[in-house]
Structure 1
Amino acid sequence: MVLETTRDTTRKVDGNWWRGAVIYQIYPRSFQDTTGDGLGDIKGITQRLPHVASLGVDAIWLSPFFTSPMADMGYDVSDYCNVDPMFGTLADFDEMMTEAHRLGLKVIIDQVISHTSDRHPWFIESRSSRTNPKADWYVWADPKPDGTAPTNWLSIFGGPGWEWDGVRKQYYMHNFLISQPDLNFHNPDVQDAMLDTVRFWLDRGVDGFRLDTVNYYFHDKQLRSNPPMVYDTDGAGMETDTNPYSMQNHLYDKTQPENIGFLKRLRALLDSYDNRASVGEVGDGPRSLNTLALYTTGDDKLHMCYTFDLLGPAFSAAYIRKVMQTVLDTVVNGWVCWAFSNHDVVRHVTRFTEDPSEQDRVAKLSATLISVLRGSICLYQGEELGLSEAELTYEDLRDPYGIRFWPAFKGRDGCRTPMVWEAGETHAGFSEGAKTWLPIPADHASRSVDAQEAMPDSVLQHYRETFAFRKNHHALIDGDMTFIETNQDLLAFVREKGGEKLLFVFNLTREPQNFVLPKRMGDVMPVDLPGFVSKLEAGAVKLDALDVFCARV
């Protein structure tokens, strides 16, 4: 029996640093407040970067901090080349980036370029007339003869995807809020302007971009209506009976073939700088994994993408194998980035268990699982503490999506509550102000960073040890992955690179399980993963409930 916990935090720095990287997502308004206004800021991020570095991650991803009216918490941008005053200044950003690089962390920033705020100067000019220089920068269309919208397209945030504008006497398209008009990427000038905003941050030294809604850039030029959706899925994506958006087959309002050409232009720009990377968010329903493959296969589009396939309620061996095998079969030489939690979904500890007594076990097992899958990793702030979804009242909500669909859907604020640093401090160390922008649950405060630092078996320590284990095994960074046939309750696969082969068997059920090693596998040497003991008796793997076995093959 071998216990491998030796830490090797070195990493080859080259153009492929992103392949197999662990990326820590920071939601700026909820990370650390240094001004006492109850909102996080960039100086707060700088202050807390040593914690992030201590996890052994490779990069940080900052959710939007650009100038914005904040109708959608910064995903409605009114100036792509500046910092909103609520977060600080460009000088603060430069200082933060310098500190991140000193600590060995790459810096990835959000680029929300499918749409802008309706207060962006571009849109203000575009809506002023049908003849101004930016008249065609957004998606404008005449009404049908009866005055209704040009198509049946819907907004993800509820209602039609079109809004009437009395100045132009036309409808404009919006996939999200009415105050988030969609840009017209069929116009080359729009593409050029967007690439200029990317170049602005590249010149400042950022290492990469997370591309919000990357398959939403283009719409169907013929303005054809979407047909109804016929679902055949087992748990991923939105609940179809909550949001009618999911009742359409979105053939024409997103994921258009012209998107490939723009992604190639974007990749060419990134490749003109050293060691830059891109990760795209693909939301395409049942087609998401195929779209991911299309956008990442080859060396001329995105470096990697993630989908919502592991961001839903399904946490079974059969489902995870189905998702992973689809990627292995369809992504020829592209790359995928996996996440169990982010700022848009219920925290995975809550999704994967209803039993509070299982919270730590589920947190540790899911950390181990995502660390040994083939792909890169996005880790959402607070995930390393095993935080659950916060229960908020309607009066607490700030998320327009949650407010729109309450009470059937409680929105995204429950995963966006402030980070907890010191259990005994005001607002758990997040802010010294009178009130925070979202309340901090008491059970979150008890799981603060300082409380878990003092516990050798805490979820926090587990993440550190697990990421160290991952870095010590190159097969886990970018090695091959081959599944082994099991019953539907177990997930078994081999990760391999060079002369290293590692076997993993996961029991995601609440019952003990046995796994008989295939005879062709020969001798194996059990390896104790951080937090788990690998048990092998007479050629059979013994797994407790919510357990994992590892061995050298």
Structure 2
Amino acid sequence: MNMLVFTLPGTPITYYGEEIGMGNILATNLNESYNVDTLLSKSPMQWDNSSNAGFSEGSHTWLPISTDYYTVNVDVQKTQPRSALMLYQELSLLHANELLLNRGWFCYLKTDSQFVVYTREMDGIDRIFLVVLNFGESSLLNLKQMISSIPTKVRIRLSTNSTNKGSEVDTQAIALGKGEGLILEYNTKTLLHHQTDFRDRCFVSNRACYSSVLNILYSCARHLDERDEDTGILFCSKHLQ
């Protein structure tokens, strides 16, 4: 879920505990009135495996601590390279450092009961992030059927399975485990939102373009026709917004 949050357009919002994969609890035997709908998903933050999960030095907490706090806590996950916390930190850094994720276009390719597949891209940057999320059982996915121009091999920029990071996958047969997510990356001169077949699937709130020569982000026209050869800046034959 964190991979979805950090790669969709907009500001990523995290509810405490999601960064370490804390689950919900069922709070019972409480003396004070409470809202069942919200309380079922709340529990003190699990910092370590000490008393009360390191959340409080008191004899007890008003809400119960989840029984998995011995293994699901911040201290433990800081030492595990493949933990939910380490993946969260990598996703946060990727989102902070990549204009494609901050201001780029969003193009959805597939949404069903098992897969969610979409891209992030930006004018002036000749590469695409392709996000593949598997919410079902282990399966094979053919990306060539979705994007005919995609290379046969693409690189895994980030994965919920850290052992795959940096490796290449065959876009005609990507093996995805149960609940696995991938952020793929490939170079291209033809962004999807410029292609007729994808225009009705691509969206952006405020269109921005990037010049690698000047290293600037600027507001650009709705329809881009020309590129300055020296600066790399894209222009419209009519006007800039």
The match for 2:10 is: 375
Tell me which of 485, 506, 518 is aligned to 2:133.
506
Equivalent-residue separation in structure 2 for 1:428 and 1:489 (angstroms): 35
Output the amino acid matched with 2:66. P
The match for 2:53 is: 428
Are residues 1:543 and 2:176 paired? yes
Which stretches of structure 1, 4 residues or more, deviate above 6 A after TM superposition?
A: none
Output the amino acid matched with 1:401. N
Tell me which of 135, 138, 148 is aligned to 1:519.
148
Between Structure 1 and Structure 2, whose CA radius of gyration is higher?
Answer: 1
Secondary structure of 2:88's aligned partner: helix
CA contact (8 A) 1:466 1:530 kept: no
Question: TM-score of the superposition, structure 2-length normalised?
Answer: 0.64
Equivalent-residue separation in structure 2 for 1:397 and 1:491 (angstroms): 43
Output the amino acid matched with 2:82. D
When you count strand as a share of all residues, which structure comes out higher? Answer: 2
Quickly say closer, same or farther: Cα 1:481–1:428, change in 2 above 3 A.
same
Quickly say closer, same or farther: Cα 1:399–1:380, change in 2 above 3 A.
farther
Tell me which of 67, 72, 97 is aligned to 1:447.
72
Q: Note the residue ranges of structure 2 that are not aligned, 5 or more in a row.
A: 188-241
Secondary structure of 1:450's aligned partner: helix
Quickly say closer, same or farther: Cα 1:399–1:415, change in 2 above 3 A.
farther
Equivalent-residue separation in structure 2 for 1:486 and 1:434 (angstroms): 48
Quickly say closer, same or farther: Cα 1:398–1:466, change in 2 above 3 A.
farther
Equivalent-residue separation in structure 2 for 1:524 and 1:535 (angstroms): 6
Identity %: 26
The match for 1:353 is: none
Tell me which of 43, 52, 57 is aligned to 1:417.
43
Secondary structure of 2:68's aligned partner: helix
The Cα offsets for residues 29-82 of structure 1, whole Å up to 9 and x where unpaired, read as xxxxxxxxxxxxxxxxxxxxxxxxxxxxxxxxxxxxxxxxxxxxxxxxxxxxxx
RMSD: 2.5
1:337-376 correspondence to structure 2 within 5 Å: 366-376=1-11
Secondary structure of 2:59's aligned partner: coil
CA contact (8 A) 1:399 1:412 kept: no
Q: Tell me by how many angstroms 1:448 deviates.
A: 1.8
Q: Tell me by how many angstroms 1:508 deviates.
A: 1.7
CA contact (8 A) 2:49 2:73 kept: yes
Quickly say closer, same or farther: Cα 1:530–1:471, change in 2 above 3 A.
farther
Equivalent-residue separation in structure 2 for 1:503 and 1:397 (angstroms): 49
Equivalent-residue separation in structure 2 for 1:385 and 1:470 (angstroms): 18
The Cα offsets for residues 308-348 of structure 1, whole Å up to 9 and x where unpaired, read as xxxxxxxxxxxxxxxxxxxxxxxxxxxxxxxxxxxxxxxxx
Quickly say closer, same or farther: Cα 1:422–1:488, change in 2 above 3 A.
closer
Equivalent-residue separation in structure 2 for 1:412 and 1:538 (angstroms): 42
The match for 1:291 is: none
CA contact (8 A) 2:155 2:185 kept: yes
Quickly say closer, same or farther: Cα 1:419–1:398, change in 2 above 3 A.
farther
Equivalent-residue separation in structure 2 for 1:486 and 1:416 (angstroms): 30
Q: Tell me by how many angstroms 1:524 deviates.
A: 5.6
Q: Note the residue ranges of structure 1 that are not aligned, 5 or more in a row.
A: 1-365, 403-410
Output the amino acid matched with 2:11. S
Output the amino acid matched with 1:516. L
Equivalent-residue separation in structure 1 for 2:58 and 2:113 (angstroms): 51
Tell me which of 400, 404, 409 is aligned to 2:34.
400
Q: Tell me by how many angstroms 1:371 deviates.
A: 1.1
The match for 2:160 is: 531
CA contact (8 A) 2:142 2:171 kept: no
The Cα offsets for residues 494-531 of structure 1, whole Å up to 9 and x where unpaired, read as 10123142122222211312213222335663223143
When you count helix as a share of all residues, which structure comes out higher? Answer: 1
